[in-house]
Amino acid sequence: MALQQLDEQQVRDWSREQKDRWWLENVFRGDMPQLTLRSALTGFLLGGVLAATALYIGAKTGIGIGVGLTSVILAFAMYRLMHGVGMAPDFTILENNCTQSIATAAGYVITPLYSSLGAYMLVTGHIIPWWQMMVWMVVISIIGVLIAFPMKRRFINEDQLPFPEGRASGVVLDSLYSGHAGAGMFKARLLGIVAVGTAVYQALVGDGWMKLVQFKLLRLHQWAGLKEPWTFHERLDTYYYEAAARLAWATPKILGTDFRALGLRLTLDAAMLGVGGLMGIAVATSCVLGAFINFVILAPWMIQAGDIVQRISPSGAVVPISRAEIVNQWSMWWGVTMMVVGSLVSLGARPELFRAAFKSMGPRAPAAAATAAPAKGPDLLSAIELPLWVSWVGVPVFSLLGAWITHAFFGVPWLLALVSLPLIFVLTVICTNAMALTSWTPTGSLSKITQFTIGAFDRSNPASNLLPAGMTSEIASNAANLLSDIKPGYMLGGKPRHQAIGHVIGLFAGVMACVPLYFLLFLPPDASGQRSTATLVSDAFAFPAIIQWKGVAELIAKGVQGLPASAITAMVIAAIAAVVIEVARIVTKGRFPLTAVSIGLGVVLPPESTFAMWVGALIFWGMALRHKAPGTRAHAIWVEGMEPICAGLISGAALMGIGNAILNVLIG
């Protein structure tokens, strides 16, 4: 069925009752299977797997990756193949849409693990029990669902806002089920081939996988005398340093500091190549510029000046200078300043979001057309919409429950937990408008508003601003992303009530898959069985979003007292530079090639990761320039297939990387 939509005049002039009646008569697919047992199970399983990949990438880059289109392609291909061999009836288009909605919800719910919750643990040194993590994340996310559905009537049914990312999923689904299934299967094969190839490479660089193959399966330590497993070095410069040790070659240094201490390594990281392809050349170039300025220019200078030094740990051991020490002792301050100021300026430069937000909270202007029906009328969709009373009852109940568990679990004073609640609605409306118009949710910058607001009440406890800010950020993000997921369902004639239930299923899928994984990967027990936050941030997993949240919390608590004068100077310069860069982007309407937020991100990311992302972005940018002409196989692969290739790189590397970490725990 070809997609149908109202024209601009109809959107402007018709009442909601007219629009609902038109949708029922022309788009609604009646009782076509949607939230079935198999779509729920498929979405749950895909959601858990894709949420794990999102956690892996979030831990490495601080960037949340969408999994909607990936889940659409995977579910379509899986059931098309099973149908082809007679194992199962083919998925309906609405079952596929429901699957992607569940999987997408699973991918979004885990954001606090690599932002607010992680920062809370790093600041306090207290590891949150796993069950408290799960309860808090589910309750907060359900508030987002309950807030979203009353807004759905306005943003989607009445105003017919575009939600570009959701619309893209709807268009892809329609093309797959309207005679273009070959294109969908081609993308699925492309994703599968790249994922398998990436997985093989990741196994070769994974010590856990090589221990399994070489010691447990082939028993090479018994008959070949192998003492350590052979692995291909993911850090390619390791080969140089091994040769340099044998042949007395020079060790590269900047102002007397070893490249390796500065974090300047050359790594072939397949996941980062995929992330770079998705982020684009402008953002990737900004990241690599931030890394170059910080680790090649400023860090050696500050080490020479004595503002970054070796320190003594509480146990009395000497902690040498490393990338993590450079970030924590000095660089974090100007990097976080760049990100916060840049994001706030960027948000302030979009007054249409605030105008639309306030407009959406008020009554809709009366229809201009003489034929328009009265604005009020029977609710034609009451049988398929989520009943509004569920939200009117659920929002206050779950909001108070959320405030209570924030107080009970994390010690946030009742008053501060309650103060954050009025901010939720305003920030959610702003986020939803941003998602509806641009597919961009400014949760990062909006969360800082909550942090600074709560910080004005209590500067003594950094956790008091972290958790309320995480609460408002997660609720706003869930509501906005849910509406983006509902958009393709509305376009394809699905039942909104089923998508609401599916979204909640996805919340449980993401939490159940990723909280245990979080403890296994990032908070493993030591030999005595004790866990420590010292293992949370590492060279392998830099958690830049946690560093940003932690930096803002500490800045609120401590001010600039105790910081080196050079760090304060760098913060002032970074703030000015961020304003200049973002103003330049505004004046040039986005043509200015740098972004302040991405430059700041490059400061807290490992430079080897930023370089790999830049290489990935450069490859896809160059291939897109080379193969512009549609209809060629190269264009189909490198341009139309860019997202499946990147998804294959990310999922293959992430899943095998997670498996490698699990094997190291099990095998030792």
Residue among 17, 19, 447 at smallest CA distance from 4: 19
DSSP symbol at 384 = T
pLDDT of the residue at 352: 54
pLDDT in tens, 187-227: 878 888 998 999 999 999 988 889 899 988 888 888 888 88
How many whole angstroms separate alpha carbon 140 and alpha carbon 515?
A: 15
The DSSP H or E segment spanning 153 is none
pLDDT of 387 over the 90 cut: no
Q: How confident is the model at residue 423 (pLDDT cuts 50, 70, 90)?
A: confident
More confident site: 527 or 125: 125
Tell me: pLDDT of 26 over 50.
Answer: yes
The span from the CA of 659 to the CA of 653, in Å, is 10
Q: Which pLDDT score, from 0 to 100, does residue 103 have?
A: 86
Digit-coded pLDDT (tens) for 612-635:
999 999 999 999 999 988 888 899
Mean pLDDT of 327-344: 83
**Residue 59: Cβ-neighbour burial (10 angstroms; 0-12, 13-18, 19+):** buried
Question: Which residues make Cβ contacts (< 8 Å) with residue 17, sequence separation at least 6?
Answer: 373, 374, 375, 376, 377, 378, 380
The count of C-alpha atoms lying within 13 angstroms of the C-alpha of 617, restricted to the half-sphere facing its C-beta, is 19
Range name among 19-33, 52-66, 274-288 with the lowest pLDDT average: 52-66
Are 162 and 618 in contact, with CB atoms under 8 Å apart? no
Predicted TM-score of the model (pTM)? 0.81
Q: Do residues 490 and 156 make contact, with C-beta atoms less than 8 angstroms apart?
A: yes
Q: What is the mean pLDDT of the chain?
A: 83
pLDDT band at 339 (very low <50, low <70, confident <90, very high): confident
Position 441 scores a pLDDT of 66
Q: Measured between alpha carbons, how far is residue 414 from residues 323, 459, 498 in Å?
A: 39, 16, 35
| Distance from C-alpha of 450 to C-alpha of 476, rounded to nearest angstrom | 12
Q: Judge whether 493 and 116 are in contact, CB under 8 Å.
A: no
Confidence of residue 610 (pLDDT cuts 50, 70, 90): very high
Mean pLDDT of the region 403-412: 87
The residue count of the chain comes to 668
What does 28-45 look like in DSSP terms, one character per residue? --TT---S-HHHHHHHHH
Q: List, as one string, the DSSP characters of 627-640.
A: T-STTSHHHIIIII
